[in-house]
Amino acid sequence: MSEPNDESKIEVNRFIKKYKYDYSLFADDSKSWMQKTKIYGVNNDTTKYSYVQLRIYNRDGSLYSAYSQCMGDFNKRNFVDSFPLKRNDYPFINKQLNFKNEMDLLDLSTEKKEQILSQSINYKFIYVVYYAIWTNYPSKHVLKEVSKIKSKHPNDVMVILVNLARDTHKGNTLNDTPN
């Protein structure tokens, strides 16, 4: 991994252009700490936090499964090698997560949130991938595998990429047209 740093829109757009997704967004850095809380954290043990996360929701917004880099190497665990993905069997997964609350972690206008929420019901699953370019392989691996799933199942999976490496942008979306 590289040193953590801010990542510009240009840098992020260049990095993600080879992946398949529906929306590419920046996280609201002022809200990222919320991922360490019981409502928004992937782990019930709220002390764990990972820059690389995959959260999967059913079309009704309920949690299907969730993974984070701190749970171990995505590659060794084969987390993203099938469709639908295997459910994560870790006992500390926060089963209270839901897609509507996920939108609270992003600095989006009310209209953009509503657009994403209304479109999400047209898919069987919603994949939300948190990543940062500076994490190198872990982010690239998850993005590549999720992109393969999106390519094979474009009508079943909505993919939202969320870059965590910025701390100043108001409601910024990147490329939010299907790729």
User: What is the token pair recorded at 57?
Assistant: 């929701």
Whether residue 119 is predicted with pLDDT greater than 90 in this model: the reply is yes
How far is Cα 78 from Cα 88, in angstroms, rounded to an integer? 10
Angle at 4 between CA 46 and CA 148, to 5 degrees: 80
Whether residue 175 is predicted with pLDDT greater than 80 in this model: the reply is no
Instruction: Give the distance, in angstroms, between the CA of residue 11 and the centroid of all CA atoms in the same chain.
Output: 18
Mean pLDDT of the residues in the chain: 77
Average pLDDT estimate for 41-45:
54
Whether residue 167 is predicted with pLDDT greater than 70 in this model: the reply is no
Query: Residue 111: phi, psi to the nearest 5?
Result: -65, -45
Higher model confidence: residue 177 or residue 129? Answer: 129
State residue 173's pLDDT score. Answer: 47
State residue 39's pLDDT score. Answer: 53
Average pLDDT estimate for 24-43:
60
Q: Could you tell me the pLDDT band of residue 159, with boundaries at 50, 70 and 90? A: very high
User: Which of 24-33, 43-52, 62-71 shows the lowest mean pLDDT across its residues?
Assistant: 43-52
State residue 10's pLDDT score. Answer: 86
Average pLDDT estimate for 80-98:
75
Whether residue 45 is predicted with pLDDT greater than 60 in this model: the reply is no
Three-state SS for 22? coil
Whether residue 93 is predicted with pLDDT greater than 90 in this model: the reply is no
